[in-house]
C-alpha cells in the first residue's frame, strides 16, 4: 500500500537521517557496512568504519 507513495528522494532522505542518528557500536563512527562474498560463497558483513578506525573487524 505505502509503496505507491515511496519516492526515491524519500528513501534517500530516510537513509541519511538514519545514518546520522546511529553510530557504530564498535568504533563509534558513522556505520559503514558492506557485504562481501567469501571464497566459500557465504555473504559476510564487513565494517569499513571499524577498519578506518583501526579496529579489526
Ligand atoms: Zn564501526
In a domain, 29, yes or no: yes
**All residues with CB under 5 Å from ion ligand 1:** 24, 26-27, 47, 49-50
pTM for the whole structure = 0.50
pLDDT tops 80 at residue 20: no
In a domain, 55, yes or no: yes
Residues 6 or more apart in contact with residue 25 via CB below 8 angstroms: none
In a domain, 37, yes or no: yes
Compute the distance from residue 19 Cα to the ligand 1 centre, in Å.
12
In a domain, 5, yes or no: no
Q: Tens of pLDDT along 21-31?
A: 688 888 988 88
Q: Which domain holds residue 50?
A: 23-57
Q: Tens of pLDDT along 28-43?
A: 888 888 999 999 999 9
Cα–Cα distance list, 51 to 7, 19, 20, 56 (Å):
33, 18, 19, 6
Number of domains in the chain: 1
Pairs from 27-36 (Cβ < 8 Å, separation ≥ 24): 27/52, 27/53, 27/55, 28/53, 29/53
Between 1 and 35, the more confident residue is: 35
Compute the distance from residue 10 Cα to the ligand 1 centre, in Å.
26
In a domain, 51, yes or no: yes
Q: What mean pLDDT is reported for the chain?
A: 82
Amino acid at each position: 500500500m505505502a509503496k505507491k507513495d515511496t519516492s526515491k528522494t524519500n528513501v534517500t532522505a530516510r537513509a541519511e537521517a538514519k545514518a546520522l542518528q546511529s553510530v557504530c557500536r564498535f568504533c563509534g563512527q558513522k556505520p559503514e557496512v558492506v557485504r562481501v562474498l567469501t571464497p566459500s560463497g557465504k555473504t559476510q558483513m564487513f565494517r569499513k568504519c571499524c577498519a578506518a578506525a583501526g579496529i579489526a573487524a
